[in-house]
Structure 1
Amino acid sequence: MENEHFLTKLITEELERDPFARGMCTRFPPEPNGYLHIGSAYAIHTNYTTAERFGGKFHLRFDDTNPLKEDLEYVRAIIEDIKWLGYDPGEHIYYGSDYSEAIYEAAVTLIKKGKAYVCELTPDEVREYRGTLTEPGRNSPYRDRTVEENLELFTAMREGSYPTSSKVLRAKIDMASPNLNLRDPVLYRIIHAAHYRTGDAWCIYPMYDYAHPIQDAIEGVTYSLCSIEFKDHRPLYDWVLKELDIPEPPRQREFGRLSLTGVVTSKRFLRQLVEGGYVDGWDDPRLPTLRGLRRRGYTPVSIRRFTEEIGSIRTQSTVDISLLDHCLRQELKASTVGVMAVLKPLKVVITNYPEGDGELLSVENNAENETLGSREVPFSRTIYIERDDFMEEPPKGFHRLSLGGEVRLKGAYFIRCEEAVKDPATGEVVELLCTYDPLTKSGTGFTGRKAKGTIHWVSAAHAVKADVHLYDKLLLDESAPTQGDGGSWAEAVNPDSLVIVKDALLEPSAHGARPEEKVQFFRHGFFCVDKKHSGEGPEGRLVFNRIVPLKDTWNKR
């Protein structure tokens, strides 16, 4: 695409004109108040690969300067998810809260330079004084306090002398600036709450726009790569570094924010879905959280390939989620072993097949990858096929089984349907009586008549029961609800986004499948063993999540 790798080109040109004395260093600064999602993966990829491209370091730094919503649970999850993706920061894991003293001293420096003051306007008054995009703001009545008074008040703020939100420290920049971010932004606020790392050591906490450049400078970050909505914040980033006389200051540069069709990535909306009980927690396979994608069966390779396919984008861009599915299929087609699974069983008795234990048949594991070899599948007189693979009166073009018709059983024999046994009460077909031709066994070089279709099957005596979860788009409409109270989620969520098939029948090779193992169900798609639910209960029942169908039909729908 036209804008692909524009960041690499931009940085290369800048370093040629004005190189750093230190090596390249980028960072990813998540706030530990939620779980990472597919949009986070794009930001991580951008920062990690940029550092890698220029032979530098990649830092993971937690922006933990708000004690109200942050938790160690999220810290652990973020570290695990980033490592799972393959973007391991190694020893370079940092916490903004560890720099609390340095950030505080920087604020004292700004006060002494006459560049910051303590303000007692209420939050509503601050917004009122700020002005609009067409009207300049007004100076706070506290703006002209002396340096000594501001130092005394700021010290008292730190000591806990004032209640929450009663005072803030603001930068003294320009209330008439066309950029609202420079109209005396808040640098510190009072929050009387315990922090998950520092406990009650602090009751004042810095704002992100103020703390971020200082944290970058402390760590030696050279390029602070942010999504495009932070572009208007860059002047404040540069102002902080300039007023603190930071030598060789980091450079903030922006890339386009990624949106995906039919996917909710807003933390607020995701929280509404989880807390409202519309989904099965933060790791629900329908959510775009990395935990949800992993549980559903998406792989780190497919997600990395997806971000590479997108490339670097300059502006807000929306990408069809089917591209992620495409990247996954390309990987799974070549790597997964096949399993025959019958989701809607219909009993078939092969009347001329010998009674007893049956036989073992050799079935290839993957038609596209011969190196995966073959497996032995038990075959017997009584089998199950998909109910949809039989019709009494088939329409033109139906190439499966019908009365008097013939079809090949995958890896086995040709069978012909001689009779359909029905339930007297309902008239529903409950059993098929068929015959087989022993000369048509797969792999024996049979060159006689051809069957128009091939269907899968499972031996009744050897079948393994499992629950199968079939997923579709979570939202009926690609546009997520915007109501703050989440009141429209009930109408927005697709009621068929999860269909649970109980007691599906699988060939016995599925019995030893491990959590997160991926397989291909013949004709049904690619599936993953659900690590959250598999093995529960006295029977240790398997649960398989469908990752994606074999073919993408969403755009057609």
Structure 2
Amino acid sequence: MEHNSSNNFIKNIIKEDLEAGKHDKIVTRFPPEPNGYLHIGHAKSIVLNFGVADDFNGQTNLRFDDTNPLKEDVEYVNSIKEDVKWLGYEWDNLFFASDYFDTMYNKAVLLIKKGLAYVDDLNADEIREYRGTLTEPGKNSPYRDRTSEENLELFEKMRNGEFANGEKVLRAKIDMSSPNINLRDPVIYRISHTEHHNTGDKWCIYPMYAFAHPLEDAIEGVTHSLCTLEFEDQRPLYDWVIEKCEMESTPRQYEFGRLNLTNTVMSKRKLKQLVDEKFVDGWDDPRMPTISGLKRRGYTPEAIRAFCHEIGVSKAYGTVDSQMLEHFVREDLKLKAPRTMGIIKPLKVVITNYPEGETEWLDAEINPEVPEMGTRQIPFSREIYIEQEDFMENPPKKYFRLFPGNEVRLKHAYFIKCEEVIKDDEGNVIELRCTYDPETKSGTGFTGRKVKGTLHWVDATHAVPAEFRNYQPLILDEEAEEEEDKTFLERVNPNSLEIFNGFVEPNMKEVKAHDKFQFFRHGYYNVDPKLTTNEHLVFNQIVSLKSSFKI
């Protein structure tokens, strides 16, 4: 699917650059930090970077910005690769920032020789204090005027491991009175005696992201470096690094509004907190907005891509209703998912005038919207299960389901009439005794009396036990999150997961992980790939059947 240029200003920029002859080939990159799993916000960036490159016959690099070994792990690297592929994209090149550590070190040495970088002995708190505020200029570090020779010697000692973590840093020498705080002598190298997942113990100093990222783009020949709006203030530093480090290639940074969704956390730090503190069952918990969580829940890559295309790319901040994403899931599944019946909260019904020991098999369409899918066979016998909520002993007006003396249609089957209610010693309804009318069989052209209620059901004799997992939003408010929000854990929904034990049709015995179905009246469900076994079926609710949301 092509990006619509009417809601994608970046595509318009690229088109103009090509027409002006600025580039022979478009090169973009998706540059995740391997410090967590990707989420739906990253999906927007993936679709953008890979999509615009595809639109203009360019290329996209998958590059891991692995400059902070304290937070990075090979597990995250592997999960990110899987997620990109699952979304339907193939990278042209696979790179790691750590591939360029030697080059970055040499560029830092170049800055020192040019008098544009210095080794500072201030600690982190002192650097912050000296930096100033938005209304007050910063102050020069007392170590700012060290000679190039002294800085070169100290920087080499940093590399050789002669100083402890935090004892010294390398800073760019730019302008401590700049109105842009990012230009007030930013730290570009710090000491970290930490083994790196890619380079082992070769290094004990690591470049800062703001220094490394522009160098990576330039080394790879990236033409359009696309990032979210929070990096807009760092663009002057990005350009400064490329210019002062004398890079042959000159990429340009363009910022777009990040994706914010209602009832959703989009910070990897917060998502990790939810995992670490056991609010959820891992990064791939179906309640999580991670790509792996959405996949496990049953979202499709086609739906996610369509959603990302629809919301477009703009320079503005904004929050998208999470129901919009659900809408695209429904639109994708309605023509793919077979229809079936499942009972989540069972109530037994005995059809007293149906022959004992007899079973008949009824025809039902697999998907009425796709007739070529054909039909399935459903067993029907004397005992069935219906939903508890489909019966009321003393119903209000306009209740059209089952109650004493009322008649309803069983989907794909017969009319039944409630004749008797069986209760336990505590007065709970445990069974209904009904009669059926054999003349009312579905598909036989019956045109007699009408009923207003149609119930789904499962034959009790052949029913297959199943676990149903229904979901509500994980976060209880609809406001976009604030990055520094410390109270978000207080808004975790304690009822975000409901588990029910019920039954499904016997043809569900052979289902496989990630098979998707529409359960009549309940919604779309996905076979859970982690919890399902041959003896125990688990279905995750993907989305409900209907929503008031309109595109």
TM-score scaled to structure 2, two decimals?
0.96
Give the equivalent residue in structure 2 for 1:169.
Answer: 170
Alignment partner, residue 478 of structure 1:
478
Check conservation: 1:269, 1:486, Cα contact below 8 A. Answer: no
* Contact preservation (8 Å) 1:480, 1:492: no
Q: Distance in 1 between matches of 2:485 and 2:294?
A: 26
Selected match of 2:544 from 524, 542, 549: 549
Structure 1 CA distance, aligned partners of 2:435 and 2:169?
Answer: 85
Match of 2:247 in 1: 246
Q: Which residue of 2 aligns with 1:468?
A: 468
Partner of 2:450: 450
2:81 to 79, 82, 94: 79
Q: Alpha-carbon deviations, 1:226-272, whole Å to 9, x = none?
A: 10110110111111111122234011111111111010011121122
Q: Would the alpha carbon gap of residues 485 and 133 (structure 1) be closer, same or farther in structure 2, given more than 3 Å must change?
A: closer
CA RMSD of aligned residues (A): 1.8
2:123 matches 1:143:
no
Aligned 8 A contact 1:272 1:486 in 2: no
CA change 1:270–1:475 in 2 (3 A) is same
Alignment correspondent of 1:509: 507
Counterpart AA for 2:539: F
Contact 1:260 1:320 survives alignment (8 Å) = yes
Contact 2:287–2:473 (CA under 8 A) maintained in structure 1: yes
The one-letter code matched in structure 1 to 2:438 is P
Q: Give the alignment of 1:190-339 within 5 angstroms.
A: 190-339=191-340
Task: Write the distance in 1 (CA, Å) between the matches of 2:385 and 2:456.
Answer: 9
Which deviates the most, 260-269 or 11-20?
11-20
The 10-residue stretch of structure 1 (227-236 or 507-516) with the greater mean CA deviation from structure 2? 507-516
Return the alpha-carbon distance in structure 1 between the equivalents of residues 204 and 293 of structure 2. Answer: 35
- Match of 2:538, SS state, is strand
Displacement of 1:480: 7.6
For residue 11 of structure 1, what is the amino acid of its counterpart?
A: I
**Which aligned pairs between 1:364-383 and structure 2 lie closer than 5 A?**
364-383=365-384
Is 1:494 aligned with 2:510? no
Q: Deviations over 1:155-192 (max 9, x none)?
A: 11111111111111111111111111111111111111
Aligned equivalents of 1:181 and 1:39: distance in 2? 25
Q: Which amino acid aligns with 1:360?
A: W
Deviation string, structure 1 residues 319-343 (Cα, Å, up to 9, x no partner): 0000000000011111111121111
Q: Does 1:4 align with 2:7?
A: yes
**For 2:38, which of 7, 13, 36 is the aligned residue?**
36
Measured against aligned partners, the alpha-carbon deviations of 1:477-524 in whole angstroms (never above 9, x if no partner) come to 2358879796662x322121111112x011111111111111011100
Task: Give the 3 Å change call, closer, same or farther, for CA 142–287 of structure 1 in structure 2.
Answer: same
| CA distance 1:553–1:471, shift in 2 (3 Å) | farther
* Structure 1 residues 333-357: Cα deviation after superposition (integer angstroms, max 9, x where no partner): 1111112111111111111111223
Give yes or no for contact 2:262–2:477 (8 Å, CA) kept in 1.
no
Structure 2 unaligned residues grouped into runs of 5+: none
> Which residue number corresponds to residue 540 of structure 1?
535
Match of 2:184 in 1: 183
User: Matches of 1:483 and 1:407 in 2, distance apart?
Assistant: 53
Q: Measure, in 2, the Cα distance between the counterparts of 1:157 and 1:103.
A: 15
- How far apart are 1:142 and its partner, in Å? 1.5
Closer, same or farther: CA 372–95 of 1 in aligned 2, 3 Å = same
Letter in 2 for 1:43: S
Conserved in 2, the CA contact under 8 Å of 1:339 and 1:509? Answer: no
Alignment correspondent of 1:435 = 435
Aligned to 2:235, what secondary structure does the other structure show? helix
User: 1:76/1:127 Cα in 2 relative to 1: closer, same or farther (>3 Å)?
Assistant: same
Give 5+ residue unaligned stretches, structure 1: none
Structure 2 CA distance for aligned equivalents of residues 477 and 348 of structure 1: 41
Give the Cα separation in 2 of the matches to 1:419 and 1:152.
93
Matched with 2:420 is: 419
The separation in 1 between residues aligned to 2:207 and 2:6, in whole angstroms, is 35
Percent of residue pairs bearing the same amino acid type: 58
Partner Cα distance (1:462, 1:156) in 2: 75
Q: Bigger CA drift: 248-257 or 222-231? A: 248-257
Following the alignment from structure 1 to structure 2, what is the Cα–Cα distance between the partners of residues 166 and 268? 26
Amino acid at match of 1:428: N
Q: Which residue of structure 1 aligns with residue 68 of structure 2?
A: 66
Instruction: State the alpha-carbon separation in 2 of the partners of residues 3 and 335 from structure 1.
Output: 30
Aligned equivalents of 2:513, 2:358: Cα separation in 1 = 30
2:69 and 2:195 in contact (8 A); partners too:
yes
Equivalent of 1:23 in 15, 22, 25: 25
Match of 2:524 in 1: 526
The CA deviation at 1:393 is 2.6
How far has the Cα of 1:554 moved from its partner?
8.9
Deviation of residue 394 (structure 1)? 2.3
Work out the CA distance in 2 between the residues paired with 1:9 and 1:481. Answer: 30
Mean Cα displacement is larger for which, 470-479 or 309-318? 470-479
Measure how far apart 1:438 and its partner are: 1.3
Report the CA distance between 1:215 and its aligned residue.
0.8
Counterparts in 2 of 1:488 and 1:246: CA distance versus 1, 3 Å: closer
Q: Please give the alpha-carbon distance, in whole angstroms, between the structure 1 residues aligned to 2:531 and 2:417.
A: 39
CA distance in 1, matches of 2:21, 2:126: 43
Shift of 1:540: 2.0
| CA contact 1:3–1:314 (8 Å) conserved in 2 | no
- Give the Cα–Cα distance (whole angstroms) in 1 for the partners of residues 332 and 435 of structure 2: 39
Shift, 1:296, TM fit: 0.8
Paired residue secondary structure (1:391): coil
Which amino acid is 1:464 matched to? Answer: V
Tell me, yes or no, if the aligned pair for 1:481 and 1:492 is still in contact at 8 Å.
Answer: no
